Amino acid sequence: MHEFDDAVLQCFLDNQGQLFPEEDVASSLEEAEAFLEECLAVVVNSIEEIWEFFEEEGLDVDGAQGDEILEADEVFDVGDGRYLIVEG
C-alpha cells in the first residue's frame, strides 16, 4: 500500500484535469487518496525514477527525452522534488 501525504493528494486534486479533462475524479483529499490507491499510482523522487517507471511499465513516451517526460499527462510535479505518476 502506498502512502500519499497531503502534498501529493493536493497536487493531484489541483491538477487532475491534465489527465482527466472530462470530469474530476476526486473532490476531496480522501477521494483523491482512494482513487490513487485504486489505480496504483506511485510517488518517485527524481526524473530518472520517472523514466525507470515508464520503461518498466512499457509506457510509450513518444520520443520524449530528459525533462520532456514531465510533460506527460500521467506525471504530476508535487513541487517538492517528488513526482506523482498516475496511469489513467
pLDDT category at 1 given cuts 50, 70, 90 is very low
Can you give the pTM of this predicted structure?
0.91
Residue 79 lies in domain: 6-85
Number of compact structural domains in the chain? 1
Query: For residue 79, is it within any domain?
Result: yes
Query: Is the pLDDT at 31 greater than 50, yes or no?
Result: yes
Question: Counting Cβ atoms within 10 Å, is residue 18 exposed (0-12), middle (13-18) or buried (19+)?
Answer: middle
Query: For residue 1, is it within any domain?
Result: no
The three-state secondary structure class of 44 is: strand
Contact 43/50 with Cβ under 8 angstroms?
Answer: no
